[in-house]
Homo-oligomer: A and B are copies of this chain.
Amino acid sequence: MNFNYPNGKRYIPKVSETEFKGKKQSNPSYSNRGMTLEDDLNDTNEYYRERNIAVIHKKPTPVQIVKVDYPKRSAAVIKEAYFKQASTTDYNGVYKGKYIDFEAKETINTTSFPLKNFHQHQIDHMQEVVSHGGICFVILRFSKQEQVYFLQATHLLFFWERMKNGGRKSITKEEIEQNADFIPLGFRPRIDYIKIIDTLFHL
């Protein structure tokens, strides 16, 4: 079943471990398990919680509930609802008392990261978080190259502003290499962004 989000993005159903195992893989390396960026970050956050390093959660997908049935002796069933645009970023939590806030996006592009992956509400939210002293960033993944970067929100805000002023609608790969920190993929944690936070913010 295919469907699109209201923003026109195609919904890609996740392939479960079991389904995946049935498929023949030409390159069954760890980095090619068919896991999404969200899976990797959820695993990473679980690792941080288990090891008592940080408490970071993904926020639930915002849904506008229109109709709910309440069958006798069983749970309420939502019969009509719609995806809503998020007014904040997807991930937040606490690390060493500090407020942590980020968004994760991926692209199949190889030479630049399109800014259309973000929307104005998220940008406004990041601006607010930065102004209140929160640690705010984006995790950008180039899915074809399996490369993950940590870009501070202040940099993203700069490139967003450039676009608003008539500039290019993406961040070039070179700009990302210059302004962001590369996160090497690991086993556990998969995407060790806390290490980058430690370095950048001297925590």
Contacts and interface: CB of A to CB of B under 8 A. Distances in A.
Interface of A: 1-6, 11, 49, 52, 54-55, 57, 59-63, 65, 68-70, 75-84, 86-88, 92-101, 125, 128-129, 131-134
A6 B73 CA distance: 10
Contact of A128 (B55, B76, B86): B55
Contacts of A63: 60-61, 63, 65, 78, 81
B70 A132 contact: no
Oligomer: number of copies: 2
B55 A97 contact: no
Contact of A133 (B1, B82, B96): B96
Contact of A68 (B11, B59, B75, B86): B11
B99 A132 contact: no
B78 A128 contact: no
30 contacts: A1-B68, A2-B70, A4-B76, A5-B76, A6-B75, A49-B128, A52-B128, A52-B131, A55-B125, A55-B128, A59-B60, A60-B62, A61-B63, A61-B65, A63-B81, A76-B83, A77-B80, A77-B82, A79-B79, A92-B92, A92-B93, A93-B99, A94-B99, A94-B133, A94-B134, A97-B99, A97-B134, A98-B99, A99-B99, A99-B100
